[in-house]
A and B are shown apart, each in its own frame.
Chain A
Amino acid sequence: MAWVNAIIQGVLTGGLYALFACGLSLMFGVMKVVNLAHGDLAVVAGYVGIGVIAVTHVPVLWSFLIVVPVMAALGYVLQRTIIQSALDRSVLTTLLVTFGLSIVIENGLLQFFTANSRSIGADLALVRDSFSLGSQIQIGYLVVVIFATAVIVLLGLQYFLSASRYGRLIRASADDPEAAQLAGADYRHVFGVAAAIAFGTVALAGMAYGMYSQLQPTTGTDTILLFAFAAVVIGGLGSLWGTLLGGVVLGVAQQIGAQINISDEVLAGYLVFLAVLVLRPQGLTARRAQ
């Protein structure tokens, strides 16, 4: 029964990891940008949420209506300014620029908010309560909601990209920005919109983690970015379905590791990550384009 519990908990936590990875996967799939500031931006979203709740006293879930658009707008602006100008030089430059951004954000957060951990909505029933399956399995409402959110976001994004007119334009611009221009599309704007969507999911990831656990200025790089990378690599670069699968595999591996020995939780996840890199470097799902 303990193993069943580990797998269920792992699958559900995998939803959180898939949510971490979604924006990273989208930024890479469309702009070929590896956003090293991804995790820190998620933490920023969490702090924005904490600030919004503290100042306006809106209910926690309402704060999403502010945080997600704010982060999406930030994504558009960052893409149109520093990320695009780095892309114009070379893809490698984007690594340096986003790494720099990561350092700036992390130290800025330490400066203004100290190293104390903060959480979001710790007194909400949604966050505190759980239900039981049988006598031994306790499942938190929050992880179920997060998992459902991840599935809806990834499904919705996949549908948007494959079936909508704008999604088609995003895929075309990803394939060949210059040819997209010749068809009348301003690929810089298209990339900006893709970044806005990616940052919207980053906002969800940061807020979700703030409710699930606690946020510190360093959480972005030492947890969110690393787990996001692991999920993307396990699932396969550039594939949103793969990202969901990667998150789930990572989550299950961690829970099984914890079942063997509680201190092996994180290690088990990285062992699977390493095994995939060695045995199947393209990830569990093949790349979308090809």
Chain B
Amino acid sequence: MTEPGAAAQPLLEVRDLIVQHGQLRALNGISLRMSAGEVYAIIGANGAGKSTLLRTIAGLHAPTAGSVFFDGQDVTALRPERRARQGIVLVPEGRRLFGSLTVEENLNVGATYARSGSWTIERVYDMFDWMRNRRSQRTAQLSGGEQQAVAIGRALVANPRLLLLDELSLGLAPVVIQRIYGMLPQILATGLSVLLVEQDVSQALRVATHIHCLLEGRTTLEGKPGAVTAEQVEAAYFGLAGAARSTQLGEGSEP
């Protein structure tokens, strides 16, 4: 109540999320809160559960326990297409474009159930200027970076409130990654919030307003990029003995 920021309702709140993949417990009691306008980065090594977390927030995995609140509303039981129409839109790992459709058709599919908002196909063409001339090409003919741009465009034209980005940099050349992350300020300027998963920690630290490190399905570190040291991040990322127990800021750790 004292700070207006703390009293404001979080845009997304995840409470004690547990997700099983068969015998494997992929997420083991994950909680997070993010406010509107944030760039919230989930970091962690391979198999830490980052993508599972994003996919569960998008509705593609059903959690065994825990809940997901979006704008104060419990969306845990909603199917992925309902969440997408409410404004939670995922750019999935590996782009997942519609391969037999053209660039423009991919964008049109993204816009089919769009909320009202400022993003249009024209605006996506303005942001990625090469796209307009190649709109009638099939996406299978595009390079990896171009496909990623189309995948982002397809998500943006739905006018999401929360954009989930899963491993944007996967399989892309560094210069292409820089170009794509360079678009982030333009995207944020339109008032949407971004929750991203990134394996490249330095990239995540550069763009994020909040970082959250996972290791084997548990939270090992959480905080503002400026408030954590490189050593803390390293320890949390690799799970080095002792340091990884609980470096969560503001929470007492057991001896």
State the A residues within 8 Å of B (CB): 165, 168-169, 171-172, 174-176, 178-187, 288-290
Question: Which chain A residue has the least Cβ–Cβ distance from B111?
Answer: A183
With A182-B92, A184-B81, A186-B79 in contact, is A289–B113 under 8 Å at CB?
no
Once the chains bind, are A175 and B100 in contact (CB under 8 Å)? yes
Most buried by B among A165, A168, A172: A172
With A181-B79, A183-B158, A186-B81 in contact, is A289–B109 under 8 Å at CB?
no
Once the chains bind, are A168 and B100 in contact (CB under 8 Å)? no
Decide if B112 is an interface residue (CB 8 Å cutoff): yes
The 8 A CB mask of B95-113 against A (1 = contact, 0 = none) is: 0111111000110111011
Question: Which chain A residue has the least Cβ–Cβ distance from B157?
Answer: A183
With A185-B81, A186-B81 in contact, is A165–B108 under 8 Å at CB?
yes
Residues of A within 8 A of B105 (CB): 168, 171-172
Once the chains bind, are A171 and B113 in contact (CB under 8 Å)? no
With A168-B108, A178-B60 in contact, is A185–B113 under 8 Å at CB?
yes
List the count of A-B residue pairs having beta carbons below 8 Å apart: 79
In whole Å, how far is A271's beta carbon from the nearest beta carbon of chain B?
33
Question: Which chain A residue has the least Cβ–Cβ distance from B91?
Answer: A182
Once the chains bind, are A182 and B97 in contact (CB under 8 Å)? no
Which among B82-90, B116-124, B221-229 touches the partner chain?
Answer: B82-90
- In the bound assembly, the distance between CA atoms of A182 and B154 in angstroms comes to 10
- In the bound assembly, the distance between CA atoms of A184 and B79 in angstroms comes to 10
With A182-B90, A185-B112, A185-B113 in contact, is A289–B79 under 8 Å at CB?
no
Given A181-B79, A183-B158, 19 other A-B residues pairs in contact with their CB atoms under 8 A: A172-B106, A174-B100, A175-B98, A175-B100, A178-B92, A179-B97, A181-B59, A181-B81, A182-B58, A182-B60, A182-B81, A182-B89, A182-B92, A182-B96, A183-B112, A185-B112, A289-B99, A290-B100, A290-B140
Residues of B within 8 A of A181 (CB): 59-60, 79-81, 84
CB < 8 Å neighbour of B85 from A172, A184, A288: A184
With A185-B81, A186-B79 in contact, is A180–B99 under 8 Å at CB?
no
- In the bound assembly, the distance between CA atoms of A183 and B107 in angstroms comes to 10
Residues of A within 8 A of B81 (CB): 181-182, 184-187
CB < 8 Å neighbour of A172 from B58, B92, B109: B109
Query: What does DSSP make chain A's interface, helix, strand, loop or mixed?
Result: helix
Question: Which chain B residue has the least Cβ–Cβ distance from A162?
Answer: B105
- In the bound assembly, the distance between CA atoms of A181 and B155 in angstroms comes to 12
Question: Which chain B residue has the least Cβ–Cβ distance from A288?
Answer: B100
Residues of A within 8 A of B84 (CB): 181-184
Question: Which chain B residue has the least Cβ–Cβ distance from A187?
Answer: B81
With A181-B84, A182-B80, A182-B92 in contact, is A175–B112 under 8 Å at CB?
no
The 5 closest A-B pairs by CB, nearest first: A184-B113, A289-B100, A184-B84, A179-B96, A175-B98
Once the chains bind, are A176 and B96 in contact (CB under 8 Å)? yes
- In the bound assembly, the distance between CA atoms of A242 and B109 in angstroms comes to 26
In whole Å, how far is B102's beta carbon from the nearest beta carbon of chain A?
10
In whole Å, how far is B48's beta carbon from the nearest beta carbon of chain A?
22
CB < 8 Å neighbour of A171 from B59, B98, B110, B114: B98
Residues of A within 8 A of B112 (CB): 165, 168-169, 183-185
A-B contact pairs, 30 of them (CB 8 A): A169-B109, A171-B100, A171-B105, A172-B101, A172-B109, A175-B101, A176-B96, A176-B98, A178-B92, A179-B96, A180-B98, A181-B59, A181-B60, A182-B60, A182-B80, A182-B90, A182-B96, A183-B84, A183-B109, A183-B112, A183-B154, A184-B81, A184-B84, A184-B85, A184-B112, A184-B114, A185-B109, A186-B79, A288-B100, A290-B140
Residues of B within 8 A of A184 (CB): 81, 84-85, 112-114, 158
Once the chains bind, are A172 and B158 in contact (CB under 8 Å)? no
In whole Å, how far is B83's beta carbon from the nearest beta carbon of chain A?
9
Question: Which chain B residue has the least Cβ–Cβ distance from A174?
Answer: B100
In whole Å, how far is B60's beta carbon from the nearest beta carbon of chain A?
7
Question: Which chain A residue has the least Cβ–Cβ distance from B115?
Answer: A184
Most buried by B among A171, A174, A180, A181: A181
Residues of A within 8 A of B154 (CB): 183
Residues of A within 8 A of B85 (CB): 184
- In the bound assembly, the distance between CA atoms of A51 and B99 in angstroms comes to 45
With A165-B112, A178-B60 in contact, is A172–B98 under 8 Å at CB?
yes
The 8 A CB mask of B57-89 against A (1 = contact, 0 = none) is: 011100000000000000000011100110001
